């Protein structure tokens, strides 16, 4: 349950949430001005709200929108909001006809520091992760949950305050999310701070047992028809709004047993996208996710399976291959693991009893 609050962010008061399950969160994020949004074209050839961009980065108008009083096929973006997940850059495009300058969109990758503490307790730095801005609250809470640092019964407190600092480059804000629990926070389980990179998650850990979270086997969960599974990638792809502009974001989608998309999160790192989904479920009081299907873009790693197991997800699917350790974890914890979910076919690596091939 959410309760309205306010936070001073970006020079104005914005509504925030106070959560009945208690975590005090703080963050800082940047937004482009309305004038900047009006000037920003999209990448050539990219689909944006059903329209295709031309070679100059402007949207092609449908025939019904074209008039003889203006250049045919050209329509500037004037009202489409540009989210903080993407940034505009100037590039040199090389092709058979030579080189030319144009504007393109790239995925934003920025550091986020996650801090945690109890009420009246000095916040403790838990992790720094490279992520795509957006749903930072969910990311922080999801990370703490999937790393075993908070439990389902823990309470999270609000309102929210902003905090930021300059990163090593000196020109970007290092966003900080402060998660405050109603109980004292014990960070002794962390033998050292994490530094998570976008490509591989929690890299540089001394040993595997430092990332392994004690998980119970998941509940039996639903039996899902083959016809439902093969339709999931298309549903996920259709919900990837930032990917349409950049082609550079991973996605994680949560589906029910009938194949309906419950939530989707995008990020430069797959593990962050999953943490955002888990954080959302935690804050909404929906854990464990015993009746859900998790679909991730790309491959499935040990870390993805660990996070799914903590959240209680019985079926994990991916459009690419799993790792050997992911297969081992899925088998041990009773998770149905699916790979190469493309078109009409897929591989089932573990626990096929949840898949009905005749439906």
DSSP state of 149: S
**Which pTM was predicted?**
0.70
Please answer whether residues 333 and 218 qualify as being in contact, where contact means their C-beta atoms are separated by less than 8 angstroms. yes
Task: Supply the mean pLDDT for the chain.
Answer: 72
CA distance 39 to 32: 11
Handedness of CA 174, 179, 185, 187 (dihedral sign): negative
Please report the pLDDT score of residue 190 as a whole number.
66
**248-257 pLDDT, tens digit each:** 788 999 999 9
Classify the phi-psi angles of 73: left when phi > 0, otherwise alpha if psi is within -120 to 50, otherwise beta. left
* Tokens linked to 133: 């801005």
> 61-70, 108-117, 272-281 — which one is most confidently predicted on average?
272-281
Question: Which comes out higher in pLDDT, residue 295 or 93?
Answer: 295
Separation between Cα atoms, residue 109 and residue 175, nearest integer Å: 11
The pLDDT of residue 48 is: 29
pLDDT: which is higher, 301 or 88: 301
- Chain centroid to Cα 128, Å, comes to 16
What single-letter DSSP state applies at residue 239?
T
Helical (H) or strand (E) element with 270: helix 270-283
Cα 19 from Cα 260, distance rounded (Å): 26
Whether 184 contacts 22, CB under 8 Å: no
Query: Using an 8 Å Cβ cutoff, are 187 and 126 in contact?
Result: yes
- Name, of 9-13, 41-45, 108-112, 278-282, the range with top average pLDDT: 278-282
Only one residue has tokens 């050292």, namely: 192
> Comparing 120-129, 142-151, 170-179, 260-269, which segment has the lowest mean pLDDT?
170-179
pLDDT digits (tens, 9 = 90+) for 147-200: 888 988 888 875 344 445 544 444 445 588 889 888 888 877 665 444 444 555
- The torsion region of residue 202 among left (phi > 0), alpha (psi -120 to 50) and beta comes to beta
Q: What distance in Å separates the CA atoms of residue 198 and residue 204, rounded to the nearest whole number? A: 13
Q: Which fold has domain 224-356?
A: Cytidine Deaminase; domain 2 (3.40.140)
326: number of Cβ within 10 Å? 26
Nearest alpha carbon to residue 88 among 243, 199, 245: 245
Beta strands at 47-48 and 51-52: parallel, antiparallel or unpaired:
antiparallel
| Tens digits of residue pLDDT in 130-150 | 999 989 989 999 999 998 889
pLDDT at 105: 82
Strand partners, 256: 292
CA 276 to chain CA centroid, Å, is 5
Residue with tokens 């990448």: 43
- Whole-number Cα distances in Å, 91 to 51, 76, 94: 22, 19, 9
Residue 21 or residue 107, greater confidence: 107
- The answer to whether 44 and 57 have CB atoms below 8 angstroms apart is yes
Residue 326 contacts residue 307 (beta carbons within 8 Å): no
Catalytic residues: 200
Q: Would you kindly state where each structural domain of the chain is located, as residue ranges? A: 224-356
If pLDDT is split at 50, 70 and 90, which confidence band does 245 have? low
pLDDT above 50 (res 22)? no
* Residue 186: DSSP 8-state: -
């Amino acid at each position: 349950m959410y309760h309205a609050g306010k936070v001073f962010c970006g020079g104005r008061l914005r509504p925030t949430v106070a959560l009945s399950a208690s975590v005090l969160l703080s963050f800082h994020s940047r937004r482009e001005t309305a004038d900047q949004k009006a000037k920003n074209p999209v990448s050539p050839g990219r689909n944006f709200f059903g329209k295709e961009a031309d070679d100059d980065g402007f949207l092609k108008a449908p025939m019904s929108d074209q008039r003889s009083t203006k250049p045919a096929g050209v329509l500037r973006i004037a009202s489409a909001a540009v989210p903080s997940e993407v940034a505009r850059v100037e590039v040199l495009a090389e092709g058979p006809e030579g080189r030319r300058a144009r504007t393109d969109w790239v995925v934003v990758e920025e550091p986020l520091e996650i801090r945690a503490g109890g009420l009246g307790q000095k916040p403790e730095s838990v992790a720094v992760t490279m992520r795509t801005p957006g749903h930072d609250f969910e990311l922080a809470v999801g990370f703490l949950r999937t790393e075993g640092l908070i439990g389902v019964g823990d309470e999270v407190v609000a309102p929210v305050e902003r905090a930021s600092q300059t990163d090593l480059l000196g020109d970007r804000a290092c966003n900080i999310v402060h998660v405050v629990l109603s109980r004292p926070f014990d960070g002794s389980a962390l033998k050292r701070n994490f530094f998570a990179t976008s490509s591989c998650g929690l890299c540089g850990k001394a040993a595997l047992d430092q990332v392994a979270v004690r998980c119970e086997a998941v509940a039996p969960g639903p039996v899902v028809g083959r016809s439902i599974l093969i339709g999931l990638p298309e549903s996920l792809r259709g919900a990837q709004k930032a990917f349409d502009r950049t082609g550079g974001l991973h996605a994680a989608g949560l589906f029910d047993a009938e194949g309906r998309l419950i939530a989707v999160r995008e990020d430069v790192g797959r593990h962050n996208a999953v943490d955002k989904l888990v954080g959302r479920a935690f804050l909404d009081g929906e854990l464990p996710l015993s009746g859900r299907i998790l679909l991730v873009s790309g491959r499935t790693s040990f870390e993805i399976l660990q996070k799914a197991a903590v959240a209680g997800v019985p079926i994990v699917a991916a459009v690419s291959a799993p790792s050997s350790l992911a297969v081992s974890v899925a088998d041990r914890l009773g998770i149905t693991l699916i790979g190469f979910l493309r078109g009409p076919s897929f591989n089932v690596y573990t626990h096929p009893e949840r898949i009905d091939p005749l439906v």
